[in-house]
Amino acid sequence: MNGSVRAWLDARPWVWSFGAALVVWLVTALVVQGRGMLETLAVALQFATFYAIVGIGQMLAIASGPGNIDLSIPGVMTFAGYVAMGLMNGGNAGLAAGIAAGIVIGLAAGAFNVALIQGFRIPPMIGTLAAGFVFQSMAIAYSRTSHAAPAPLLVSFSAARVFGVPVIALIFIVLTALVSIGLGRSVFGRSVLATGQNWRAARLAGLAVRRTLGLVYVISATLAAVAGILLAAYSGGAALDMGTDYLLMSIAVVVLGGTSIAGGQASPAGLWGAAILLDLVVTMLNVMRVGAGLRYVVTGLIIIGVLALAKGGEQAS
């Protein structure tokens, strides 16, 4: 009995993050004596969506093997967010152009990363980090010439709800489900996991390892651009520090969600559990009237702690 529960849990690493999120939600409920609990959850889901969008890309990168990681996410988010808002310039006329430009920036940034990693064979960690700073600096330069305001349509879309549930959350939950199915069923998805388990074996088996890895970085940067556009719209405009937290958060939702940091395995559902958990922790500390400083400390310690425990479990099994 105990063994079968364990096996069930081992096959579903995302359960932990949802369980932890539930606990934090209930603790918050105790503190506020149950007031507005569904609203708390809806707001958490709203912000969790931004974490989950970048998390999907980061998860694909981390799942494709040791050394693969995308540290350019904050830079891409900020630059794409700024240019998209700049073209919209507060009106609906520039909506399509803004979104298109933002996504093109994501695609181009991804291609640039791939050129550094595969063309110049710079380790992904350092290549994407350096590229991220270049994108950030482009955003800084661009921010001097443009006051970035979102199109009203996009603002209402980013905050819209159906039966109390944020629309963008629903959209990206569906996308996450597609990614989950794709990882198991599509050639690309299985190539990502095979490359992550052993890229030499994957290459000898005839998989297009280079193309797979390249596509992973392009997808990651493009999703970062989408997250940047939506976040900028939701916050009423782009800001130079809007991406800062996402460097850690994109990795945190992947790791806390049950994806192995060693690669070769992915847990898309866990992205949402972890993203909601991280957001609910902040909410809980807020209702406890804890300052920004302690919030950062607790978030950092949770991430390190869970990572240490999860890796320990892996070694034991």
Partner 1 sequence: MPAEVTAGLASGVAAGAGGRVARRATALRIGLPAVALVVMLGVIFAMQPRAMSYFGLTVLLNFTLPAIFAAMAQMAVIAVGDIDLGIGPFLSLVNCIAATLLATHPALGWLALAALVVAYAAMGALIHVRRLPSIVVTLGASFVWLGLALLVLPSPGGTPPSWLPALLAWRPPFLPLPLLASILLAGLGQFLLMHTSYGVVLRGIGGNPRAIARAGWSLLAGRMALYALAGTCGVLAGLALTGLNTAGDATVGAQYTLISIAAVIVGGGEFVGGIVSPIGTVVGAWIMLLAGSLLSFLNISTDWQLSVQGGILIVVLGLRALNRWSAE
Instruction: Enumerate binding residues for partner 1 (CB under 8 A).
Output: 69, 71, 116, 119-123, 125-127, 129-134, 136-138, 140-141, 144, 247-248, 251-252, 255, 261, 291-301, 303-304, 307-308, 311-312, 315
CB of 250 to partner 1, least distance (A): 10
| CA gap 133, 156 in Å, rounded | 31
Q: For residue 93, what are its two tokens?
A: 């006329």
Q: Residue 15 and residue 66: Cα distance in Å, rounded?
A: 24
Residue nearer to partner 1 on the CB measure, 39 or 314: 314
Could you give phi then psi for residue 189, rounded to 5 degrees? -60, -45
Q: Do the Cβ atoms of 216 and 199 come closer than 8 Å?
A: no
Question: Which residues lie closer than 8 Å to 192 by C-beta, 6 or more apart?
Answer: 60, 63, 64, 183, 212, 216, 266
Q: Which is nearer to partner 1, 104 or 129 (CB)?
A: 129
Supply the DSSP symbol for 89. T
Min CB(262)–partner 1 separation in Å: 9
CA distance 225 to 75: 9
- Work out how close the CB of 105 gets to partner 1 at its nearest, in angstroms, rounded to a whole number: 15
Q: What is the closest distance, in whole angstroms, from the C-beta atom of residue 58 to partner 1 in the complex?
A: 11
Supply the minimum distance, in Å, between the C-beta of residue 227 and partner 1.
18
**Of 252, 269, 273, 257, residue with least CA distance to 21:** 273
Q: What is the DSSP string of 230-266?
A: HHHHHTTS--TTTTTTHHHHHHHHHHHTT--TTSS--
Nearest distance in Å: CB 65, partner 1: 12
Q: Which residues pair with 209 in a beta bridge?
A: none
